Structure 1
């Protein structure tokens, strides 16, 4: 990915038109622009086919270079071979830092692996049905649905007239349905935070967390879960403290609630009255030197207790509650 102050990466964008609809073009190229300059933009398919009328209507708008690939044999995809040959020629030219392969076809898995073996970055783009082998072969993989496009089924496309497809290239664009952030996803985020944490400071740079995730899950995208950015997911993960540095870079760290709960239990049992309550002020003074809540962004002891389960507080007292039976 291009960084501020560094020369943007030169990218070769190769699109399998037989496997991708024109509805995604604008969002696709805007996404690619986040990672570098699309120095080459080629799109492959049988341009004599009415199925590509949507793409034909926007080639000039997006400066896409169409590459004709005739279907010499029924049932065989000549587009794949033509794209692969061009990709290898571009790779051997040595002029490109990365490649954007736009297809949901697993046939491009060896190509992605070969490009990465040559030290070039590979960004893959495809539908949610894209086989895992191709997704994992890329450095990063983006679901087209997250870019605002959901592919029509072949039956729907076949039933539509050529004129209708040409006049309504955006007809297939709808908002993708977000997934829930399940236990496996939360576990992935927590492990990535741990792996990205600087042992010297205890903080993890959010950008590094994203890189750690991508190393094991190239197809991970916060937009799949309804979040515009990873930082939004992390905030909803709870139990984290955030800060930004002078360059507005975001960092986070785990709040050690397990240590706090042990300390609260110790303090409560030490100072509780016969009625089963302990003074907020007394417990707070005991906890503060041992667990400074202000270091974790809490203004006061009551504010901290409000974030801890199984604690009941009043204006001047607190007590520990037994966890609810599962």
Structure 2
């Protein structure tokens, strides 16, 4: 996919300078920030922490004096500039960095014009702004990669699992398979603030693999997501074990057999099949006997 040309607009009045590196790093994953502006009243002492960072990062500071009490000049200036960019500049996306609900209507308007809207804000960001964005990213999640713990999201894993399961069932009813990419897209459409980092993961694939209800099927370069059928999964493992025993004169130690299973079946998890010990799984397979050959070792033998 071609990189997006992004207009980055930061509400400096309510975003800390400590997030700047994380914000820019995140945007490099989807495109290039061709416009970078930050809005605020630079006469205020609390804004001074931005100074050196803006110079080093080629971000243009936009001065806004709060001339009227109760009116936020920074918000107004950012909104006006965003609309000016929409009509006069060649950009594909807007990244609006703020924890303020005042930008909800702006995000909706930009999306109506066919632009991708990436919202970024802290955990306190209202749902109205989150849901108006094409995608919303929690700044705490970004900053956790630099050593801080992400703030717990209201988004539950149970809700995520429900969306994944429904996606798979809908596709099954239509005679289609479900790719990992489709699951990610569906989750982001349902929950604009969905981010696996909220749950302590770096990758969607690992996040889903750790859910007992699902399994990943890797075929060539494709990764598919399926609902776990414990019986069919056990049958697949059982067939592999029988094949390995046949290829090794009908007998292997439990250590040898378990190593082969874990090396050749990447998604194998003993607990998913309802067993706490590997030898009990092997002993449950028709035609295989398991006997102790030493104090801490057992051997599986295929019946002739």
**TM interval, short-chain normalised:** 0.7 to 0.9
Which residue of the partner structure matches residue 294 of structure 2?
A: none
**Using the alignment, how far apart are the partners of 2:70 and 2:150 within structure 1?**
31
| Mapped partners of 2:75, 2:282: distance in 1 | 70
Looking at structure 2, the residues matched to 317 and 120 of structure 1 have their Cα atoms a distance apart, in angstroms, of 57
Distance 1:177 1:129 in 2: 10
Please give the alpha-carbon distance, in whole angstroms, between the structure 1 residues aligned to 2:88 and 2:219: 41
Q: Answer yes or no: is 1:204 the counterpart of 2:182.
A: no
Q: Does residue 1:189 correspond to 2:130, yes or no?
A: no
- Once the two structures are TM-superposed, the CA of residue 256 in structure 1 deviates from its matched residue by 2.5
Cα deviation for residue 85 of structure 1 reads 0.3
Shift of 1:298: 7.0
Query: Aligned-pair distance for 1:254?
Result: 1.5
- Give the alignment's TM-score, normalised by structure 2: 0.75
**Inter-partner Cα distance in structure 2 for 1:297 and 1:144:** 46
User: Superposition pairs for residues 152-231 of structure 1, below 5 Å?
Assistant: 174-177=148-151, 182-195=157-170, 199-200=174-175, 203-231=177-205
Query: Which residue in the other structure is 1:122 paired with?
Result: 117
Q: 1:182 to 1:239 in 2, by over 3 A?
A: closer
CA distance in 1, matches of 2:99, 2:127: 10
| Partner residue in 2 for 1:308 | 273
SS of residue in 1 equivalent to 2:210: helix
Q: By how many angstroms is 1:203 displaced?
A: 3.2
Q: How far apart are the structure 2 equivalents of 1:82 and 1:310? A: 62
- The answer as to 2:253 corresponding to 1:299 is no
Whole-Å separation in 2 of the counterparts to 1:297 and 1:252: 21
Tell me, in whole angstroms, the C-alpha distance in 2 between the residues paired with 1:208 and 1:13.
Answer: 27
Whether 1:253 and 2:195 are equivalent positions in the alignment is no
Contact 1:69 1:79 in 2 (8 A): yes
**Shift of residue 140, structure 1, vs aligned partner:** 0.3
2:66 aligns with 71
Q: Does residue 238 in structure 1 map to residue 212 in structure 2?
A: yes
- 1:250-284 Cα offsets, whole Å, 9 max, x none, are 22212233xx3xxxxxxxxxxxxxxxxxxxxxxxx
CA distance in 1, matches of 2:137, 2:239: 38
2:212–2:272 CA contact under 8 A, matched in 1: no
Change (3 A) 1:214 1:197: farther
**Would you say the 8 A contact 1:23–1:149 is kept in 2?**
no
| Structure 2 unaligned blocks of 5 or more | 243-257, 262-267, 287-304
Paired residue secondary structure (2:240) = coil
User: In the alignment, which residue of structure 2 is the partner of 1:146?
Assistant: 141
Deviating more after overlay: 179-188 vs 219-228: 179-188
More strand by share: 2
Deviation (angstroms), 1:18: 0.3
CA distance in 1, matches of 2:74, 2:101: 13
Question: Is the 1:123–1:141 contact (alpha carbons within 8 Å) kept by the matching residues of 2?
Answer: yes
Tell me, yes or no, if the aligned pair for 2:120 and 2:137 is still in contact at 8 Å: yes
CA distance in 1: counterparts of 2:179 and 2:238, whole angstroms: 17
Find the aligned partners of 2:169 and 2:14 in 1 and give their Cα distance: 39
Number of matched pairs: 259
- Aligned-residue CA RMSD in angstroms? 3.3
